[in-house]
Amino acid sequence: MDRYAVIGHPIAHSKSPRIHAAFARQTGQALCYEAILAPLDGFSASVHAFRAAGGRGMNVTVPFKLEAFALADQHTPRARAAGAVNTLSFNSEGILGDNTDGAGLVRDLSVHLGCTLKGRRILLLGAGGAARGALLPLLDEQPAVLTIANRTPRKAQELASRFAGSAASTQLHACGFEALAGQQFDLVINATAASLADAAPALPGGLYAPGALAYDMMYGRDDTPFIAAARAEGAARTADGLGMLVEQAAESFALWRGLRPDSSAVLAELRRELGGP
């Protein structure tokens, strides 16, 4: 039976084993998927040990996505663009690194939430790894405007410069949070770590255009602080990142197994467990 795993520190909270087990049952694939807790100073050794024991691939979660990029012998274009890897595939030529986070985000937005991205005004909050992973897939959807805003404007500007060549039909801007005053967006995506600290980014009011969607990459049983603040500011729709989690897993599964599972049923099951509709 083919072996796969998710590796991180911590890892006990990960829903990836359940998600991939459900995908395997649905598609009739003979595989097992486990969670591996790697020592903070032992990521590379843990990956090589799993591969030597017959492992076929791994998902990588915090805090190892940058180390996974360095470990990979080859990278997909979206992994190179992100500068981080969340999916490893092992083959005779070495280790292939991919990044499925941004593809998972876009698929959740377009398929599950019915959000058209082409021609829209998008605000991406944050300039760290989560934002980097999302940028190329978002730009591929050809929004009219994509603004990167960060508490430290310089980091947003560096990120915009890095992706300027991929923004042929999109106005790509970068700024600090304060400079957003007076602007409106159709989609606001929180890629900051603020929700982990039980806080929301300090944003000016009036950012949400009529019908706008506020999307937090984090998820939980209750509204994240970002979603609660967006509701108070008049966002017409809100969504958390549970669908992104399931869709990035489906993208990894398709890379490994050559077929894409139906993610809708798996997402609905996880949503019910969290107490959602």
- To the question of whether residue 197 is assigned a binding role by annotation, the answer is no
65 is an active site residue:
yes
Would you say 28 is a known binding-site residue? no
Question: How far is 46 from 103, CA to CA, in rounded Å?
Answer: 27
The answer on whether 130 is annotated among ligand-binding residues is yes
Go through the chain and tell me how many residues it has.
277
Ramachandran sector of residue 182 (left: φ over 0; alpha: ψ -120 to 50; beta: rest):
left
* Residue 43 CB-half CA count within 13 A: 23
Check whether 128 is labelled as a binding-site residue: yes
206 is in an annotated binding site: no
Whether 127 has a binding-site annotation, put simply, is yes
Tokens of 95: 């280790």
Q: How many CB atoms lie within 10 A of CB 92?
A: 4
Residue 61, marked binder: yes
Q: Judge whether 14 is annotated as a binding position.
A: yes
3-state SS assignment for residue 208: strand
Tell whether residue 231 is among the known ligand binding residues: no
For residue 166, which phi and psi values (nearest 5 degrees)? -100, 5
Contact 234, 214 (CB under 8 A): no
- What tokens were used for 57? 């691939």
Query: Per the annotation, does 262 bind a ligand?
Result: no
Pairing between strand 2-8 and 31-37?
Answer: parallel
Residue among 24, 58, 60, 65 flagged as catalytic: 65
Please check if 126 is assigned to a binding site: yes
- Binding-site residue set: 14-16, 61, 86, 101, 126-130, 150-155, 217, 219, 241, 248
- Binding-site residue set for NADP(+): 126-130, 150-155, 217, 241
Catalytically annotated residues: 65
- Binding-site residue set for shikimate: 14-16, 61, 86, 101, 219, 248
